[in-house]
Amino acid sequence: MKRRVLFAIFLSLTLAGCAAVFRSSSPKVRVESEPEGAEVESGGKTPTEITASRGKTTNVTVKKDGYAPHYGAVKRSINPLWLVWDIGTCVFPVTLCIPVVIDAITGAWYDVEEVHRVKLEPGSATPAASASAAASGSGTPIGTAPPATTAPPKIEMSDNDRKAAARAAYLEGVELQDRGKHADALQRFRAAQRLVEAPTHLLRIGQCLTATGKLLDAQETYETLARLELAAGAPEAFRTAQEQGKRELAAIKPRVPTLRLNVQPAVAQLPGLVIQLNGNPMPNELVGIARPLNPGTYRITGTATGFKPLAPVEIDLKEGGTKSLDLRFEK
């Protein structure tokens, strides 16, 4: 009987400071989104509840048609009161430090947010896609920020897995390219390049961009390929791809059209000047510069404070074309 009493006293002492006894290691977190009705990967439509973990990061993925996906994580922060309490109870004998060990393992020291709020942005493009669209003049314009999205969590892969996956994507891309399906092939080659950077991937990406009319994007890809510094022991295929890329770069440069937009009066005399190409604002620093663009039709509009809006003008940029347009603002 005496031993039982002593054991009970010992157990109560060792657990007295143990936060894990009093706090659930898997608290519930409410997920809310604007707009509501978005799908939460762990189940349910917003608003909904998910089970989080105090001991590790809990990722949250929220998706809704017509909106860019949200990739985030439940916020955690150490509760200083529990930490101080556990350390304060960790005295001789050493067994009284058991609460510190338990709480460190379970994460019981941590508080988690009660509500995870998400504001979904219209669109479906990833930040990388938005940057690519900006470069081509068809998406978010240069000089403006892309829609705010949270980068997806990085997925760890072994080197062998990455190489095998990249090889598979590359071979599928080659087959599609040979069949004339350049847009589909482009996706495969870009996937291969994200997994393993290689000159052979860049060469194929440049070729597919050229075939789909994205000449400016192709030129920039070839430029990247040409500037690569290959290691002394790089495979011969890499050197061959780089040399071929340089030749294709020289051939494509004359095909990229340019557009120069001039304004009257001068930019400094046009407060609040905004010139748009296909609805995308153009940085005023580009006024008067022959700007390379992808071939295509561009609708140009402009406004300035205290001046009449410009009547919309459409320009058709052909391959290798050079066009200049004067925009006159009237009061």
Task: Tell me whether residue 207 is in a domain.
Answer: yes
Q: Cite the DSSP H helix spans in the chain.
A: 2-16, 19-22, 80-89, 98-106, 127-136, 159-178, 182-195, 199-211, 215-227, 236-252
Q: Structural domain tally of the chain?
A: 3
Task: Tell me whether residue 140 is in a domain.
Answer: no
- Alpha-carbon distance of 195 to 193, in angstroms, equals 5
Task: Tell me whether residue 311 is in a domain.
Answer: yes
Mind listing the pLDDT tens digit for each residue in 222-268?
Answer: 999 999 999 988 999 999 999 999 999 999 999 999 999 999 999 99
Same domain flag for 164 and 210: yes
**Residue 46 near residue 62, CB atoms below 8 Å:** yes
Same domain flag for 231 and 284: no
Same domain flag for 100 and 20: yes
Of 136, 107, 77, the closest CA to residue 256 belongs to 136
Domain interval for residue 324: 258-328
Choose the final residue of a domain: 216, 239, 255: 255
Task: Tell me whether residue 91 is in a domain.
Answer: yes
pLDDT, residue 45, reads 81
Other CB atoms within 10 Å distance of the CB of residue 234: 14
Task: Tell me whether residue 189 is in a domain.
Answer: yes
Choose the final residue of a domain: 69, 96, 119: 119
Same domain flag for 113 and 24: yes
Residue-by-residue pLDDT tens, the chain, 331 positions: 555 544 444 444 444 445 444 556 677 878 888 888 888 876 678 888 878 776 667 777 888 877 778 777 777 665 555 445 455 555 444 444 545 444 444 545 466 678 878 787 765 444 333 333 333 344 333 333 444 445 556 667 788 888 999 999 999 999 999 999 999 999 999 999 999 999 999 999 999 999 999 999 999 999 999 999 999 889 999 999 999 999 999 999 999 999 999 999 999 999 999 999 998 899 999 999 999 999 999 999 999 999 999 999 999 999 999 999 999 999 9
Same domain flag for 186 and 269: no
pLDDT, residue 290, reads 95
